[in-house]
Every structure is written in structure tokens, then in C-alpha cells.
A and B are shown apart, each in its own frame.
Chain A
């Protein structure tokens, strides 16, 4: 076996043994930990994620102009709602309102009807304020603070941008129908959530 091959084996073995289980790169010193906590919070909270998914799909179906409105209105109001929520000393959970929001936005996606720009603007504001407020009260308890809320808002912005842009670009009829089917799923989840909440298991 040549020296080259031995060196390859040693290098590969080192790579295996030095493989990091978790990459925690300098977050303590940069102070950006809560920002990433916020991003992770959105990814790990299906009740928030589903709401963003629903309005992202809806604004994409309605067109580029509606998508642009949602892109800025939703994260901004999310942040404002979150700052208001930070002032509360107890964590507030309103699963009924979340379920109703899934129900309404999901049905609008499934229906694929034209809606005025003002409507989507209002809807994005209401959703953003509601979910942001709930996140804010949760962050106040977890000690995440403004930076965590900012992380959530940035994640919402990116997610809406990707989703709305994707849906706006869809031209094939079957692709738009797939989005509408997704809307019916979100409605169905909202209905079941209402039931679970009634039973106290939401």
C-alpha cells in the first residue's frame, strides 16, 4: 500500500472522528443565538408554519402584486404583534383563532377566487398581528426577546417570498389545482383543530 493510500485512509478516518454532532459556531460571542432561535421556532411550530404556508399560497394564486403586499405586510405586522406580546407576563395560547385562520385562508386557497388587494392586505395584517402576538407572549416567557421575534419575522419573509414566487410562476393548470388541493387540506386541518380544541386536546 503506497504512502498516498495510507494518507487517504488517515484523512478519511480523521474526518469521521472529527465530524461535529452539533455545529454551534460562535453564537455565544456574536449574540445572535436568539435570532436563530426565532428561525427555528417558526420551523418547529406547525400552527405558525401552516398559517404562513396558507397565506403564501393564497397570495401566490392571486398574483404577483398580492404576493408583494403579503411579503411585506405579514412579517412587519408579525413583528409589531410580537413586540406587543412581549409586554405580557403570561403566555397566551388561542388555538381556536389559529384553527379559524387555517379554515378561512385554506378555503380561500381552495376556492381560487379573485380578491381585492385591500382584502389580502387586511388578511395579512390580521394574521401577522395574531400569530406575532402569540409568539411574543411565548418569547417573553422563554427569554428570547426582540431578536428572536426578528428571526421569526425574517423566516416568515423568506418563506412567503419562496412560496408566493413559486405559485405565481405556476402556469400549468394541474399545478394550480395542486395548490388548491393543498388549500382544502389546510381547511380540513383547521376543522379538525377546532374539534381538538373543543375537546381540550388542541
Chain B
């Protein structure tokens, strides 16, 4: 009898789950239309390793520099990146975009590796300069038929979240072993940047 009651409870649990998870509308195939624009925008920054590493490096460097760079750099980057994206959309060419992105990984990785304590203004200029290349390359690749606004929202939000990941990882800076780990991460980004530069020049 007890076994039967357990079975009934399990049955009720499963059926309750079915009820709760029952979709009111089936929105399969979201790859088209407005929602597709948002998802494409979200997917774009995280699909390229060069972009991912540079974004995370910005967060790591900000965490090493502390306040106010901790939040100033992630504020500057999306705005300048969008500026670069706008240049690309307006058809204004930027020479050596892929090379610029690769060098951004090298420079930002080197900053993290060496724990470079630059003035906040100089750090902002470096981050802003490279953000233009990232925006020019990645901010303009909207598939036909999708919403530019939703793509932009997804793209900017995903980039910001990558900075957030970098800052969150950078929190280990408060421990001595964490500092070492961050410098090692900077070295990895730097080496990856050299690899990207090799690919861009080849």
C-alpha cells in the first residue's frame, strides 16, 4: 500500500511538472524574425574567441586596477565599440580590423600579465581605441530580415556580460595566489593574441 502511495505521488509530481512546463505557445524556429535578431546579437560576441578573450581581459585588468577603473573600463568599452560598429554600418572603412583585434588581445593580455598600473585616462584610451576595432568587425554582421535594434541589444548585453565575467574572475585578485592566477590568465590571452595575429597576417 505504501509502495502504491509512493507511485501515486510520483505520478502526481510528474503530471504537475507537465502542467507547469506546458507551453502556452510553441515558439519553435526562433531563428527568424525579431527574436532571431536578439539571439544572433547575443551569440555573436561569444562565438569568436578573439572577442571573448579581449572582453574578459578588459574585466580582468579593471579588477587589477581597482576603483574607478573596475567600472569605468566596462562603461567605456561598449560605447566606443558601438561607435566602431556605427562607422562600419556607415561604410567608413577601418584598415587592419582583424590585426587590430589580435593586437588588442596581445596588449590587454600583456597589461594583465604585467599588472600594469597605468593612469585611468591612459587605460581608458587604450580600451577605447581597441573597442573601435571590435565594434567595426562584429557589430555590423546582421543576417537579412532580422531586427537591427534587437541585434544591437543582444550584442551589447552579451559584450557587457563578458566584461562581467572578467570582473568576477578578477575578484580573485585579493588573494596572493589569485594574483598569480590572473597574471597567468593575462599571459594566456597574450599568447592567444599572437596566434590571432599570425592568422590575420597569414
Contacts and interface: CB of A to CB of B under 8 A. Distances in A.
B153 A195 contact: no
Contacts of B79: 110, 184, 187-188, 191
Contacts of B166: none
A181 B86 contact: no
A189 B24 contact: no
B130 to A, nearest CB: 15
Interface in A145-202: 177, 180-181, 184-185, 187-199, 201-202
Given A12-B12, A194-B86, A181 B160 contact: yes
A195 B149 contact: no
Given A5-B8, A9-B8, A181-B160, A195 B85 contact: yes
A16 interface: yes
Given A5-B8, A12-B12, A196 B149 contact: yes
A109 B55 CA distance: 22
A87 interface: no
B152 A192 contact: yes
Given A46-B149, A180-B75, A189-B152, A196 B8 contact: no
A22 B22 CA distance: 11
Contacts of A194: 86
Interface residues of A, number: 36
A110 B160 CA distance: 14
A202 B148 CA distance: 5
B15 interface: yes
A42 to B, nearest CB: 15
Contacts of B5: 5
B12 A185 contact: no
Nearest to A15: B19
Contact of B153 (A21, A46, A181): A46
A5 B89 contact: no
A97 interface: no
Contact of B88 (A21, A50, A195): A195
Given A22-B24, A184-B79, A191 B85 contact: yes
Given A181-B74, A185-B78, 10 more contacts: A9-B11, A22-B25, A184-B78, A188-B82, A192-B89, A192-B148, A192-B156, A199-B148, A201-B148, A202-B149
Interface of B: 1, 4-5, 8, 11-12, 15-16, 18-19, 22, 24-25, 71, 74-76, 78-79, 81-83, 85-90, 139-140, 142, 147-153, 155-157, 160
Interface of A: 1-2, 5, 8-9, 12-13, 15-16, 19, 21-22, 46-47, 50, 110, 177, 180-181, 184-185, 187-199, 201-202
